[in-house]
Amino acid sequence: MRIFLLLPPPQSTRMRLMACLAFLTLFIGQCQSQFRPPQVEITDKDTVNYDFFRQDDNQIEQAGYLEPFFQKLYEQRIRGGHKVSIVHIGDSHILGNFLTREVRARLQNAFGDAGRGMVFPYRLASSNGPKDYLVETNTRWIGSNCQRVLATETPFGISGFSIQTTNLNAELTLRLRDTATSETRLFTKVTVFQHKTGYEYDLEVLDEVSGQKAELFIEDQYAQSYYFDRPVDQATVRARKLTSQQKRLTLDGIALENELSGVVYHSIGVNGAKYQDFVRAKYFSRQVAELAPDLIILSCGTNEAQGRTDPAFLRRSIQNLIESLQENAPNALIMLTTPADSYLRHGRSFNPNMAEVSAVIRKFARDKGYALWDLHHFSGGENSAQNWKTNGLMSSDSVHFSKAGYAVQGKLLYQSLIKGYNEFVAEKP
């Protein structure tokens, strides 16, 4: 690991003042939470009004296991100065960010905004992705993910995806601008994830709008972190060929954060993914550890239920993934979730396997003492997909959910976390 001294370059007074004012706005908004009571109010905007949910059962099971996580949230809310890192890993339900953006926005409103977190140029790997940032490039990339490659071990990292180019002038620009609201977000830290070898081009990170080049602060074999002197809303990653041996640029993922305390909620999803796909990804757990997660949420099961998955194999897959994650990030707590009920692909019939898959996840969490969010149970259990569908909460394929359906799930997950947190706070002396 190499650490570099940051020497801020000379900047114009006017541009520095404008950036400082923008960052001050973020800082003031974040600090407001420190003047609120320790408990967090669940408002009408955080609730859902569908009769088929067993609202009283929307609780985190074995929430006591999460006490260290709740304690850190508590310290951040009343005093500030803490960055709370949550990594939510899953399948296509997580990839689109419709569910996770609901949780992220609410947690950051309650505990402070530490940045957007993990992003990836999914379009360049022929996949859909979130809509709250834009991607531009000057070259063609080849990409794939850990679900498409069926080898026993695959060369994927933190996002479950990777893209690669041999263009020695390659550039990739990410802009935090929501395509629906036109809202922009600022950041100062860019972490580029690579499993770096001597064949990989070197990098530089810059923002042409503000004329800044980010300074490389820390790097190891798996990631490089760059810092801007002033907040930006976009960053360009540019290849730099420094040796004759360098032949390509491979990107495993990018994390965008600021230097404020609060919550950073990383969401990582892969279409069609199963637990075992992340186990097979060679660099996945090691790079997740670079995010210093306080809590890792695992949300798979839908794809295992599309076929008959042996319960013993599913249990081993969950165990193998958690062991790998905790070996690399020993301080991370684990929360498992069960999937909402859905149909077999194309909605031909109810899925006869979903209840069994959920039962395996449920029993595993209870046996191991991990936290559990049992969405399958409190949303109605077996054949409850009909309730989601008749209420307009499922998409046309009857496996995925509508934007409204994912928003409902995100609100329910947030509620369960806050209920557990508030109970923790209420029991403090």
Q: Domain residues of the chain, as ranges? A: 41-114+261-429, 119-259
Burial 19-44, CB ≥16 within 10 A → b, else e: beebbeebbeebeebeeeeebbebee
For residue 370, CA distances in Å to 203, 239, 297, 335, 373 come to 40, 42, 10, 6, 10
Fold for 119-259, please state it: Jelly Rolls (2.60.120)
Written as tens digits, the pLDDT of the chain (429 aa) is 544 444 444 444 444 444 444 555 455 444 444 467 899 999 999 999 999 999 999 999 999 999 999 999 999 999 999 999 999 999 999 999 999 999 999 999 999 999 999 999 999 999 999 999 999 999 999 999 999 999 999 999 999 999 999 999 999 999 999 888 888 999 999 999 999 899 999 999 999 999 999 999 999 999 999 999 999 999 999 999 999 999 999 999 999 999 999 999 999 999 999 999 999 999 999 999 999 999 999 999 999 999 889 999 999 999 999 999 999 999 999 999 999 999 997 667 899 999 999 999 999 999 999 999 999 999 999 999 999 999 999 999 999 999 999 999 999 999 999 999 999 999 988
Locus of tokens 């041996």: 245
Domain 41-114+261-429 and domain 119-259, same fold? Reply is no
pLDDT at 400: 95
Locus of tokens 């081009």: 201
Give CA–CA dist 345/199, Å, rounded.
Answer: 42
- Asked if residues 232 and 212 have their Cβ atoms less than 8 Å apart, the reply is yes
Q: Which residues are paired to 262 by β-bridges?
A: 83
Determine whether 223 is exposed, middle or buried from the number of CB atoms within 10 Å of its CB (0-12, 13-18, 19+): buried
- CATH number for the domain running over 41-114+261-429: 3.40.50.1110
Residue 335 three-state SS: strand
Radius of gyration over alpha carbons of the chain, in Å? 21
For residue 86, CA distances in Å to 66, 69, 172, 239 come to 12, 10, 26, 30
pLDDT at 8: 45
Give CA–CA dist 234/216, Å, rounded.
Answer: 17
Give CA–CA dist 360/315, Å, rounded.
Answer: 7
Q: Could you give the strand order of the β-sheet that contains 371-373, starting from the edge strand earlier in sequence?
A: 60-61, 371-373, 333-337, 295-299, 83-90, 262-269
pLDDT at 182: 85
The H or E element containing residue 336 is: strand 333-337
